[in-house]
């Protein structure tokens, strides 16, 4: 654990988030004279820096030599520098012009803290001191306030020190999102999410609500009946509203049998009015869950968009990350979906997977290009400490954060070569290389729901284990209500899940 000594407890969240952007493996904690901490790990942690908030100046003193971030080896492939360094013991000073306690003071502090770290580590980060997961939301909000592109550009560059390239990307995506969302019913519309928390097996990096279907086979029926009740009861709350988009995710919904899928789709259509739906997506993410019969059920029930996700086209990596399917199965599932009639198919890929090089990413992109999907979603690997991958990395001593500008560029160029444009973007904590996830699509194939979930422009009613309903109200309030993740608990406490939504909505 890394300790930041301070004379005051303030901005702890921002300090931790910025430090973790540089060093995702760190567990930074702030220790001030007034902190009441009993955790021995914190009390015995390694003091790495000291902050002093004075009346006219703020100082930051480095107490150790910070691990350097090397340009050549990729952002987080760092090596600890040995020997003398001018950074150990170095003092950074800021003279704030703003009064303490104001938003401007906080912004000024974040800029100062981030800039000091850039000097100490020898690197800048692509998204500057922005630590939130939705950088495009800033651009979008400013556009809605009538700000010009130049003003947004200046704000992101000067206030948050975002790179020129990422600033351009954020503004480009926000403009496209605004145009795509113009078809929605803002006043009276909503979207629907349904979660199926089962998958053929659990991937090593998984951080979603997902259980291996073989272990839950006996209770899938019970899960569907509970879900059916939630569908019936909540549909009544939305009788007077317009349903814009529907997304069935999870998990992997196609882990269900063709009969179960048919039952679910019919239940949804019986309870909700689908006549206004502009986009109906089902995640068919895992090739080992796809059959022709299931694809036909989806197609015949009006599903307009599916995902067939390779993540990588390198068999060795697929085996390592526990996907338990072959590259050929992905290709076959994709072709089958085309034959059945799907004209909007997304493919997901992950950058920064353990052991993957730039050449592997080029291979994955070329194999995807040969299939010619309509959308490509490029994720940077996010390693959650609790995931199987987090433990695997620790045990095997592998560097997980090996994503680089070059690799990101290969994916972006690959998407552009397929005639796709970036249309949504979000970030996660602990991402490989502190980059971002970007959705690319051909014109007219943009996934509206993907933008909605990020930009929080419309109420999303979310059903099923682990699903989070977001109420977006006319006074700009956003409130959430979460279903329990555990499938057994969800089944037992279904009345409570329904009641929670009734109260929120």
Indicate the residue among 251 and 373 with the shorter CB distance to ligand SF4: 251
The single residue among 26, 52, 208, 263 that binds ligand SF4, judged by CB under 6 A, is 208
CB contact at 8 A, 198 and 251: yes
Q: Among candidates 394, 324, 317, 404, which has minimal Cα distance to 355?
A: 317
**Site size with ligand SF4, rule: CB under 6 A:** 11
CB contact at 8 A, 52 and 58: yes
Indicate the residue among 74 and 285 with the shorter CB distance to ligand SF4: 285
Indicate the residue among 286 and 445 with the shorter CB distance to ligand SF4: 286
Indicate the residue among 51 and 220 with the shorter CB distance to ligand SF4: 220
Q: Does 251 bind ligand SF4 (CB under 6 A)?
A: yes
User: Least CB distance from residue 284 to ligand SF4, whole Å?
Assistant: 10
User: Least CB distance from residue 343 to ligand SF4, whole Å?
Assistant: 24
CA angle 436, 462, 424 (to 5 degrees): 25
Stretch that binds ligand SF4, among 247-255, 408-416, 426-434, 491-499 (CB under 6 A): 247-255
Indicate the residue among 113 and 198 with the shorter CB distance to ligand SF4: 198
Q: Residue 46 has what DSSP assignment?
A: E
Q: Among candidates 405, 399, 398, which has minimal Cα distance to 435?
A: 405
Stretch that binds ligand SF4, among 106-114, 173-181, 245-253, 477-485 (CB under 6 A): 245-253
- Alpha helices, H only, 272-349: 292-300, 315-320, 327-340
Strand partners, 94: 58
User: Least CB distance from residue 342 to ligand SF4, whole Å?
Assistant: 19
The single residue among 131, 252, 346, 430 that binds ligand SF4, judged by CB under 6 A, is 252
Q: Among candidates 165, 72, 166, 51, which has minimal Cα distance to 122?
A: 72
How many other CB atoms sit within 10 Å of the CB of residue 368? 22
- For residues 21 and 15, give the distance between their C-alpha atoms in angstroms, rounded to a whole number: 10
Stretch that binds ligand SF4, among 28-36, 167-175, 197-205, 487-495 (CB under 6 A): 197-205
The single residue among 19, 75, 140, 203 that binds ligand SF4, judged by CB under 6 A, is 203
Which residues are CB-neighbours of 380 under 8 A, at least 6 positions away? 350, 351, 352, 403, 408, 428, 431, 432, 433, 435, 436, 437
User: Least CB distance from residue 57 to ligand SF4, whole Å?
Assistant: 48
Indicate the residue among 203 and 368 with the shorter CB distance to ligand SF4: 203
Strand partners, 79: 68
* Residue 53: strand, helix, or coil: strand
User: Least CB distance from residue 463 to ligand SF4, whole Å?
Assistant: 17
Q: Does 19 bind ligand SF4 (CB under 6 A)?
A: no
The site map against ligand SF4 for 150-189 (x = CB under 6 A) is ----------------------------------------
Which residues are CB-neighbours of 162 under 8 A, at least 6 positions away? 126, 127, 128, 130, 135, 156, 170
Indicate the residue among 200 and 228 with the shorter CB distance to ligand SF4: 200
- For residues 128 and 161, give the distance between their C-alpha atoms in angstroms, rounded to a whole number: 5
Token pair belonging to 486 = 């555990």
User: Least CB distance from residue 206 to ligand SF4, whole Å?
Assistant: 3
The site map against ligand SF4 for 256-295 (x = CB under 6 A) is -----------------------------xx---------
CB contact at 8 A, 500 and 481: yes
The single residue among 69, 143, 192, 199 that binds ligand SF4, judged by CB under 6 A, is 199
Which residues are CB-neighbours of 66 under 8 A, at least 6 positions away? 48, 87, 117, 120, 121
The single residue among 178, 202, 399, 489 that binds ligand SF4, judged by CB under 6 A, is 202
Indicate the residue among 31 and 206 with the shorter CB distance to ligand SF4: 206
Q: Does 206 bind ligand SF4 (CB under 6 A)?
A: yes
Instruction: Tell me the C-alpha to C-alpha distance, in Å, between residue 167 and each of 116, 142, 262.
Output: 21, 13, 44
Cα distance between the two ends of the chain: 42
Indicate the residue among 74 and 310 with the shorter CB distance to ligand SF4: 310
User: Least CB distance from residue 56 to ligand SF4, whole Å?
Assistant: 51
Instruction: Tell me the C-alpha to C-alpha distance, in Å, between residue 1 and each of 20, 25, 28, 329.
Output: 12, 10, 6, 44
User: Least CB distance from residue 381 to ligand SF4, whole Å?
Assistant: 11
User: Least CB distance from residue 287 to ligand SF4, whole Å?
Assistant: 10
User: Least CB distance from residue 162 to ligand SF4, whole Å?
Assistant: 29
User: Least CB distance from residue 491 to ligand SF4, whole Å?
Assistant: 19
Indicate the residue among 108 and 285 with the shorter CB distance to ligand SF4: 285
Sign of CA dihedral 11, 17, 23, 25: positive
Residues found near ligand SF4 in the complex (CB under 6 A): 199, 202-203, 206, 208, 210, 250-252, 285-286
């Amino acid at each position: 654990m890394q300790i930041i000594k301070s004379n005051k407890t303030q901005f702890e969240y921002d300090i931790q988030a910025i430090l973790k952007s540089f060093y995702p493996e760190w567990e930074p904690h702030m220790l001030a004279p007034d902190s009441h901490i009993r955790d021995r790990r914190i009390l015995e942690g390694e003091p790495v820096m000291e902050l002093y908030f004075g009346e006219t100046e703020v100082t930051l003193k480095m107490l150790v030599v910070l691990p350097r971030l090397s340009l050549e080896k990729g952002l987080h492939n760092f090596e600890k520098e040995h020997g003398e360094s001018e950074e150990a013991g170095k003092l950074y000073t800021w003279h704030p012009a703003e009064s303490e306690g104001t938003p401007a003071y906080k912004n000024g502090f974040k800029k100062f803290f981030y800039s000091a770290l850039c000097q100490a580590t020898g690197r800048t980060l692509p998204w500057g001191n922005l630590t939130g997961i939705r950088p495009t939301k800033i651009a979008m909000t400013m556009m809605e306030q009538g700000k010009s592109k130049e003003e947004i550009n200046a704000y992101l560059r000067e206030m948050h020190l975002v790179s020129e390239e990422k600033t351009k990307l954020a503004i480009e995506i926000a403009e496209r999102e605004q145009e795509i969302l113009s078809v929605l019913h803002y006043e009276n519309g909503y979207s629907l999410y349904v979660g199926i928390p089962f998958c053929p097996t659990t991937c090593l990096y998984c951080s979603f609500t997902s259980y291996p279907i073989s272990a839950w086979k006996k209770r899938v029926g019970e899960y569907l009946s509970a879900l059916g009740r939630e569908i019936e009861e909540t549909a009544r709350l939305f009788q007077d509203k317009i349903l814009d988009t529907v997304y069935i995710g999870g998990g992997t919904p196609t882990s269900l049998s063709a009969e179960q899928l048919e039952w679910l789709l019919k239940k949804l259509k019986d309870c909700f009015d689908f006549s206004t739906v502009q986009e109906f997506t089902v995640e068919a993410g895992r090739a080992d869950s796809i059959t022709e019969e299931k694809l036909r059920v989806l197609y015949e029930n009006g599903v307009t968009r599916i995902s067939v996700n390779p993540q990588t086209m390198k068999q060795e990596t697929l085996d390592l990350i526990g996907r338990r399917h072959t590259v050929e199965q992905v290709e076959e599932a994709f072709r089958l979906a085309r034959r059945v009639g799907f004209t909007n198919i997304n493919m997901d890929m992950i950058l920064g997977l353990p052991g993957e090089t730039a050449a592997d990413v080029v291979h994955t992109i070329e194999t995807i290009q040969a299939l010619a999907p309509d959308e490509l979603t490029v994720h940077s690997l996010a390693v959650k400490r609790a995931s199987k991958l987090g433990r695997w990395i620790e045990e095997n001593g592998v560097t997980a954060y090996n994503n680089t500008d070059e690799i990101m560029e290969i994916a972006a160029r690959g998407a552009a070569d397929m005639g796709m444009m970036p249309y949504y973007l979000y970030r996660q904590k602990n991402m490989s290389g502190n980059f971002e996830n970007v959705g690319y699509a051909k014109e007219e194939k943009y996934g509206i729901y993907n933008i909605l979930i990020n930009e929080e422009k419309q109420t999303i009613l979310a059903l099923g284990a682990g699903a989070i309903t977001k109420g977006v109200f006319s006074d700009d309030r956003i409130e959430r209500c979460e279903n329990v993740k555990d499938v057994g608990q969800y089944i037992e406490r279904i009345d409570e899940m329904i009641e929670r939504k009734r109260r929120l909505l």
